Amino acid sequence: MTGVLTKTFLLGVATFALLHTGAEGSEMCSCFYIRSEWEGNYDADFSVQSTIRFKGITCELTFDSPVDSLNYWQGSVEMVDSTHFILTNEIYSAEPGDDIEFGIEVHYSGATQPVITGVILNGDDVCDGVGDWSTPQPMENPCAETGMTPYDYSQVLCMSYVFYEAQRSGKLPADQRVTWRGDSALDDGSDVGHDLTGGYYDAGDHVKFGFPMAYTATVLAWGLIDFAKGHQTANQVEYGQAAVKWATDYFLKAHTAHFEFYGQVGEGNADHAYWGRPEEMTMARPSYKIDSSAPGSDLAAETAAALAAASIVFKEVDSAYASQMLTVAEELYAFADEDRDVYSNSITDAASFYKSWSGYGDELCWGALWLYRATGDEAYLEKARAAWDEFSLGTDAVQFAWDDKRAGCYALFTLLQPDTAEYKNSLESFLDYILNEAPYTPQGMVFLDTWGANRHAANVAFIALWAAEYGNTDHTATYREFAETQINILLGDSGHSFVVGYGVNPPQRPHHRSSSCPWPPADCTDGWAQQQPGPNPHVLFGALVGGPSEDGTYSDDRNDYVHNEVACDYNAAFTGALAALVELH
């Protein structure tokens, strides 16, 4: 039987072991991928696709050095000699287009890892695409090196947008660059009769938390607007627009009626109990909303900020879309201002994950400032001033993040009201605290929170770079030096990179379910993917991990979600800071 199987698509496969070599430099046969290894052992996955109907598999394996034993759980194993094995499964059947996938476990005692150099499947040589066969290739970094120094900020900017593609929920577009992801959560909103597909999975999980997602969209848009030249230089304008639009398209769907907005899909604890790919989720994904009877001023105002900022991004690109977003932004802001409460009192499931600790005053100011910037309507400037006074926002900010927007308000007020010293003074006082009073790790990274310390360093680096460019300040050089130092620590100055897939000794085990799961999916749902000691099978290019403890120590541990989780909000200001550094370099 010839031409039985062919691989015509790119599925998720272990990307870190494609070119394993043996005793004499032998390369691993390209239809097998090592997904984990430990002393004297490794697991490998085989993957192709059928083009005809058949029943029964005989697979002959050749190794380049002796193997002690081999496990094949789906059938029987015959050891011809120490380098030749025959796997048989008489009941394995397939239809055209079916995936033919199985795993083996190899045990050896020699000093050199045995490599599979030959595979004969049902009489066909399937190694390295011989004859009618082609094999899946690992996803390579789609972002080319540019030669920029001291770090390739342009390449990492590109990679950061690739990370957002890995976080997409819903029906994926044809130009999706992350090949190991597929369509997922296509029934979101069916429980309430609305189409709530799309948007972003929050972090290493699969919940769509609207509050941090809206912050992410706002800050990504901010970077596109105020560091446009850096995006243009790096050829990332369209990717940045796509990243913002993936969120804003979802927000427009989530605005389902007057003063009604769906702010979360997925239940936190049920989701976090599932370690698997979003494509295979089976748990219920309830939809949660705010409305006049259960309001959420912070969520509504932050979403208004995101849509207003995005309307500026798209004003010259798609004026109709920009106008649509601005209309919804104005209604959401009115909702936030008229029916006041913190959103986590209404969407109570969010309280365990993204509780609104700072209240909603900062979002009322922040949202009004973005609407004023987008519309020029003085009424929004007055709303922003009123919130500034009512909630005493001009002092005490010690970070800038998804919950606390005060430092962002300082910046926007400084831009929009340059003749008012109060706002400029607040911005400079905030940065003075960050530079001179905040704690630092031994490596020199500002340390503002145990959870996601890297994210906070990147966030204040962005504020510093923005202030250096737009803050009408005498501290431009100081702010830029501080910010570049922080970003360089994240990229490698600490001795290793904190960005997956970039630089020296980057994280290989981010706390991220989807990238930890190899094919076939069954290998993930049994708990193996979370606990196996090897790297994640898929490289989550561009993701910024949580980061070190205050003493500077860091462990690349998949189960350490405090230090090794990734999240959409972690990369938001980091992305803008990279664009700013592209401009400077």
**Pair 116, 207 in one domain:** no
Selecting among 64, 205, 298, 362, the annotated active-site residue is: 205
**Pair 505, 412 in one domain:** yes
Query: In whole angstroms, what is the distance from residue 275 CA to residue 512 CA?
Result: 9
Q: Are 460 and 400 in contact (CB under 8 A)?
A: yes
**Pair 206, 86 in one domain:** no
- The pLDDT assigned to 25 comes to 55
Tell me how many helices (H) and strands (E) the chain has: 19, 13
**Pair 52, 119 in one domain:** yes
Evaluate whether residue 165 is within a structural domain.
yes
Evaluate whether residue 22 is within a structural domain.
no
Amino acid at 270: A
Query: What would the two tokens of residue 471 be?
Result: 């803050």
**Pair 177, 107 in one domain:** no
Please report, in angstroms and rounded to a whole number, the separation of the first and last CA atoms in the chain. Answer: 59
Q: Are 580 and 466 in contact (CB under 8 A)?
A: yes
Evaluate whether residue 479 is within a structural domain.
yes
């059928």: which residue's tokens? Answer: 50
**Pair 441, 355 in one domain:** yes
- The pLDDT assigned to 531 comes to 87
Residue 77 DSSP code: E
**Pair 106, 175 in one domain:** no
Evaluate whether residue 188 is within a structural domain.
yes
Evaluate whether residue 69 is within a structural domain.
yes
Q: What are phi and psi of 469, to 5 degrees?
A: -90, -35
Query: In whole angstroms, what is the distance from residue 264 CA to residue 223 CA?
Result: 25
CA proximity to 167, closest of 521, 579, 514, 570:
514
Domain boundary among 114, 129, 144: 129
For the domain that residue 569 is a member of, what is the CATH number? 1.50.10.10
Evaluate whether residue 15 is within a structural domain.
no
Selecting among 349, 362, 565, 569, the annotated active-site residue is: 565
Selecting among 511, 512, 538, 563, the annotated active-site residue is: 511
**Pair 157, 111 in one domain:** no
500: left (phi over 0), alpha (psi -120 to 50) or beta: beta
**Pair 477, 576 in one domain:** yes
For the domain that residue 115 is a member of, what is the CATH number? 2.60.40.290
Domain with 85 in it: 32-129
Query: In whole angstroms, what is the distance from residue 155 CA to residue 144 CA?
Result: 6
- The pLDDT assigned to 132 comes to 33
DSSP, collapsed to helix, strand or coil, labels residue 442 as coil
Query: What would the two tokens of residue 575 be?
Result: 């992305």
**Pair 251, 349 in one domain:** yes
Domain boundary among 97, 129, 161: 129
Domain boundary among 129, 163, 190: 129
**Pair 69, 187 in one domain:** no
Strands 54-63 and 32-38, sheet pairing: unpaired
Q: How many domains does the chain have?
A: 2
> Is residue 37 annotated as part of the catalytic site, yes or no?
no
| CA dihedral over 132, 36, 514, 242, signed as positive or negative | negative
Q: Would you give the distance in Å from CA 553 to the centre of its chain?
A: 23
Evaluate whether residue 19 is within a structural domain.
no
Q: Are 64 and 117 in contact (CB under 8 A)?
A: yes
**Pair 307, 442 in one domain:** yes
> Is residue 475 annotated as part of the catalytic site, yes or no?
no
Evaluate whether residue 27 is within a structural domain.
no
pLDDT tens for the 585 residues of the chain, in order: 333 333 332 222 222 233 344 444 567 777 788 878 888 999 888 887 766 666 788 889 999 999 999 999 889 999 999 999 999 998 887 776 677 888 899 999 988 899 998 888 877 777 754 333 333 457 899 999 999 999 999 999 999 999 999 999 999 999 999 999 999 999 999 999 999 999 999 999 999 999 999 999 999 999 999 999 999 999 999 999 999 999 999 999 999 999 999 999 999 999 999 999 999 999 999 999 999 999 999 999 999 999 999 999 999 999 999 999 999 999 999 999 999 999 999 999 999 999 999 999 999 999 999 999 999 999 999 999 999 999 999 988 999 999 999 999 999 999 999 999 999 999 999 999 999 999 999 999 999 999 999 999 999 999 999 999 999 789 999 999 999 999 999 999 999 999 999 999 999 999 999 999 886 555 676 677 888 888 998 999 999 999 999 999 999 999 999 999 999 999 999 999 999 999 999
> Is residue 195 annotated as part of the catalytic site, yes or no?
no
Selecting among 339, 363, 428, 556, the annotated active-site residue is: 556
> Is residue 556 annotated as part of the catalytic site, yes or no?
yes
